[in-house]
Amino acid sequence: MFTQYTHKFILMAFCIIATACGATEKNLLKSTSQIAVDYRDALNDNNINTLIQLSALPVTFINQEWESAPDGYGWMLGKKFTSKFDTQTGLNKFLETFSPGIEIKGTKATLIPRAEYDRFKTELSGSESLWNNLKAYIFTRGEYDVEHITIIGVNPETHKVQVLYAN
């Protein structure tokens, strides 16, 4: 009798785990660049559920402001705000306010090779260690008087987003 219930318990546990892993398995079939594009689309659509599915805890968001240049001509990067989330509740609350405030116009996820991270030393300053084991993809967010960019860091093993930089 104990064996009969043990088998049922194992079968039920397997079904629960298989269901929970379904979204992750679909993501593993996608390239990391496609994950970055999907994340961009979810941000633009303010699709919090998809953003949550595509994120891995801990996840870090870096948002950098623009400010007037000291001479009054042009713009330069200003204050940087970093938000790190270790809990699902904190991430959910953050995404509800962050997602509506960002729109990424760039359609192509361009890989930034590790050898070229120096090109973004200002943007990645202070967060270099976060990007070390990720595939970083850049999207432009419009090019008017300042060059807005978004960089999305995807873990190549989990196919989940772990870092996002936007200015």
Task: Report the distance separating Cα 133 and Cα 160, nearest Å.
Answer: 12
pLDDT score of 138: 95
pLDDT score of 24: 53
pLDDT score of 162: 98
pLDDT score of 103: 87
**pTM score, whole prediction:** 0.80
The per-residue DSSP string of 33-48 comes to HHHHHHHHHHHHHT-H
167 residues of the chain, pLDDT tens digit each: 545 544 444 434 343 343 344 445 666 678 999 999 999 999 999 999 999 999 999 999 999 998 888 888 888 889 999 999 999 999 999 999 999 988 888 888 999 999 999 899 889 999 999 999 999 999 986 655 567 899 999 999 999 999 999 98
Contact 160, 55 (CB under 8 A): yes
Counting every residue written for the chain, the total comes to 167
Q: Which of 167, 142, 165, 143 lies closest to 154, judged by CA?
A: 165
pLDDT score of 12: 41
pLDDT score of 64: 93
- Tell me the two tokens of residue 17: 């785990």
Taking CA atoms, 121 is separated from 101, 115, 154, in Å, by: 25, 12, 19
pLDDT score of 61: 97
Task: Report the distance separating Cα 136 and Cα 109, nearest Å.
Answer: 9
